[in-house]
Amino acid sequence: MAAPGTTVHELCEEATCSICLDYFMDPLMVAECGHNFCRACLSQYSGESDVQASCPQCRGTFQKRNLRPNRQLANFVEIARKLIGQGGQVCEKHQEPLKLFCRDHEAPICVVCDRAKEHKDHQVVPLEEDQILSRLDMLRKEREKILAYKADTEKENQDLLKLTEKERQRTVDLFRQLHQFLAIQEELLLAQMDEVKQGIAKKREEHMAVLTWEISSLESLIQELEEKCQQPAGELVQVRRGRGVMLLVDPACRLFPLFTRFSTANVTLDPITAHPQLILSKDCKSISWGVSCQDLPKNPERFDVRPFVLGREGFAAGRHFWEVTVGREGIWAVGVARKSVRRKGPVEFAPDEGIWAVGRWNGQYRSIDPPLDPLLPLSGDLRRIRVNLNCAESQVCFFNADTGDHLYTFPVGSSFGEALKEGYTPSKIVIKRIKPD
């Protein structure tokens, strides 16, 4: 409210809305800052927001629900209207109407003031024009603020868009790499699964072949046993199951210490048959694997590719046995071979080539009887092997010399038309002389 002594100009300013620069119409007071505005002006300025807006004068934020009608200001405006209407806007100094506005002093003046030295060379415009110019200047400033805010907002939006695009590209690259990795892993896993599948199928076929072979052999064995049952009881049962299957033999063959019909054989190794990389002892009772090949004569009896060596002795009749000490490690084989076995080139280690043996390779003890090479029935390491050669029955049997357990039996068949020799491959092998009990 204007204080006593207030000029007409000041009274006019107190009753004027800062938005429309006219007298307040239905004034509203902003509770947060205390500024007043016409209801229509404030509504147009604050827009359609129903919650909050900013004060046009101090830019402070206020809640629209806190706007209150200023009845006291409305009454003051009415009084000011009447006072100004009665007395008019006159110059206090010259008592002339205030029709002009001095831009330099920023105050309304009369025509007398305009001619005075005080306002000489000042920029003077009509009062109504000044009001328009003031309003225009305020609008321009407001526009500049809005344009500056718009530019800042646009820059911020562009920065956010660039950041979003950068993050999007990073995400796309990351998922592309992830897809490539998953595709590679899928391919590898599927390939491994295919290998496992093929391995399972192969094992199944092998097992089915073994089972089929076993069933066929058992059926043949049953048939032979049924035929043997018709023979006199005093005869020993000697039923073969064929190559690759354990033979059914009488108890005397399984417990070799009680089997006295076999004569001990004094076996020695034949140096002229030894592969050049095999090292023989002076007494020709043991062999081992050398680091390199020796410079030996290339006689026709010598093995040149396979690391084999034969014994000097040959057997074409009778029953003979001998023992061999073998290593717990490495690769070796012990058995018998035809005297005419091939010596040159990659000789196949198989009964079809005239070789019947057992051995150790890949950490396993097996009979060398392709294609299955059955495992030997062992519960531990094999240290000594007893070889029983029965020329009368055309078979060679192998035993665990420490336990007496039967390991494997080969039917030699028609090979006894010629002499059989002992055969060996490394690693460390020692032939033991057996004294009969």
Question: Residues 424-433, buried b or exposed e (16+ Cβ, 10 A)?
Answer: bbbbbbebee
The number of C-alpha atoms within 13 Å of 316 and in the hemisphere containing its C-beta is 5
Q: Which two structure tokens, joined as six digits, stand for 325?
A: 């000490």
- C-alpha gyration radius of the chain: 61
Query: Which pLDDT score, from 0 to 100, does residue 242 have?
Result: 35
Query: Which pLDDT score, from 0 to 100, does residue 356 have?
Result: 92
Query: Which pLDDT score, from 0 to 100, does residue 293 have?
Result: 87
One-letter identity of residue 307: P
pLDDT tens track of the chain, all 437 residues?
444 444 566 677 788 898 888 889 999 998 889 899 999 998 888 877 777 888 998 988 888 888 889 998 888 888 877 766 544 567 777 777 777 888 787 788 888 887 777 777 888 888 666 666 777 788 888 889 999 999 999 999 999 999 999 999 999 999 999 999 999 999 999 999 999 999 898 878 867 876 776 676 677 678 777 877 887 755 544 433 333 333 333 333 444 443 445 677 788 899 999 999 888 989 888 888 888 889 899 999 999 888 899 988 888 888 898 999 988 888 889 999 988 899 998 888 888 888 999 999 888 999 998 888 899 998 888 999 999 998 888 889 999 998 889 999 998 865 554 556 655 555 556 655 444 44
Query: Which pLDDT score, from 0 to 100, does residue 244 have?
Result: 36
Tell me the domains of the chain and their CATH numbers.
8-134 (3.30.40.10), 251-432 (2.60.120.920)
Neighbours of 24 (CB within 10 A): 24
Query: Which pLDDT score, from 0 to 100, does residue 418 have?
Result: 54
Neighbours of 219 (CB within 10 A): 10
Q: How far apart are CA 43 and CA 38, in angstroms?
A: 8
Query: Which pLDDT score, from 0 to 100, does residue 257 have?
Result: 42
CB of 384 closer than 8 Å to CB of 401: yes
Query: Which pLDDT score, from 0 to 100, does residue 250 have?
Result: 38
Q: Tell me 418's DSSP state.
A: S
DSSP 94-116: T--B--EEETTTTEEE-HHHHHS
Q: pTM of the full predicted structure?
A: 0.42
Q: How far apart are CA 275 and CA 280, in angstroms?
A: 10
Query: Which pLDDT score, from 0 to 100, does residue 214 have?
Result: 64
